Amino acid sequence: MTFFPHLIAGPIVHHKYLMPQFASTSNLRFRLDNFSLGLFVFSIGLVKKVLIADNLGHWANAGYASEQTLTMIESWSTSLLYSFQLYFDFSGYSDMAIGMGLMFNISLPQNFNSPYQAKNIQDFWRRWHMTLSSWLRDYIYIPLGGKRAALPRIYFNLFATFLIGGIWHGAGWTFLIWGALHGAAVVLHRCWQDIGLRLPSWLGWGLTFLFVNFAWVFFRAEDLPAAQRMLSSMSGLSGGGIGGTGSALLPLEALLSLGLASLLAFLAPNSQQIAGLVPHQGRLRFREGLIAAALVGFAFFYALVAQIQNTPSDFLYFNF
């Protein structure tokens, strides 16, 4: 309870994972390698939160506050801005928790594994909030019967697990619908697999991301009518027209931020891969030395200055 790095928003860790590490006397010694690696991961998380997520959130919040007047392009951009804000905000917090844990010689599990690079919805949930997915599997899906049942019962178990997962985030219709949407998508994917159908990887990735972005509208909206208004604008049925770029709600700065976030989420290795904490075939990897120290120092200082200059904002998952 007193290990503050993961106390409020995860990663969700079972006591049997942490207690042996707390009891190990070798973890009581200061280790420069763990401290430097932890500071590196922490700095990545800080940059994600302060320089990326908070910047995206400024434009996403403005869009959701004006969902009744958005054009089609503005509403789609707003939904995408929030999708990336949520990812960089929550994965940033997880990186900061993991990094701080490493500074104390404590290993915390990976919580995000480039979820927006997932090729299907099942793959997405293996990559998004991984410790919550494991918790839902161990304490809801398996007790319901898991895969040890007839096929209709398996489908029910999957749907019920995600429905409960939606309610876990909040007791409102929007969260219930969000959970139901993901439950239905996972069941549909399982049916698709059971009859032996396959999609090209690029098409599976595109459909998965579009669905996840669509479902996030319910997750973000203040209430069900607000979600309906946003979806109406996204479909072009609100009367706002198609619109264009350069408006007060969608200036060039917002588009550039959205483009950068898209490239990082879709193409770049994640922080755990760069830090060498999980297997990774790419060349971009943390190595101790002056260059790494300079990059970490610059990123940390720049994010800290930005945090001081701007109004601090809480991590989004503190609300759930």
Nearest of 26, 8, 46 to residue 106 by alpha carbon: 26
* Residue 202 CB-half CA count within 13 A: 0
- State the greatest distance between any 2 C-alpha atoms of the chain, in Å, as a whole number: 66
- Yes or no: say if 229 and 73 are a contact pair by the CB < 8 Å rule: no
Torsions phi, psi of 141, nearest 5? -65, -50
DSSP H or E stretch at residue 99: helix 72-103
CA distance 79 to 72: 11
Which residue carries 């609300």 as its tokens? Answer: 319
169 is catalytic: yes
Cα gap 179→173, rounded to integer Å: 10
Tokens standing for 109? 């599990």
Name the catalytic one among 14, 58, 129, 169.
Answer: 169
Q: What angle do CA 147, 153, 155 make, to 5 degrees?
A: 80
Which residue blocks in the chain are alpha helix, DSSP H?
15-23, 32-47, 54-64, 72-103, 121-127, 130-136, 142-144, 151-169, 173-194, 201-220, 224-234, 252-267, 271-274, 290-309
Calpha distance 181→24 (Å, rounded): 44
Rounded to a whole number of angstroms, the CA Rg of the chain reads 21
Sorted by sequence, the CB contacts under 8 Å of residue 87 that are 6+ apart come out as 112, 115, 116, 265
Say which residue the tokens 């994965």 belong to: 91
Note whether 111 and 129 are within 8 A (CB): yes
The C-alpha atoms of residue 146 and residue 138 are separated, in whole angstroms, by 9
Catalytic residues: 169
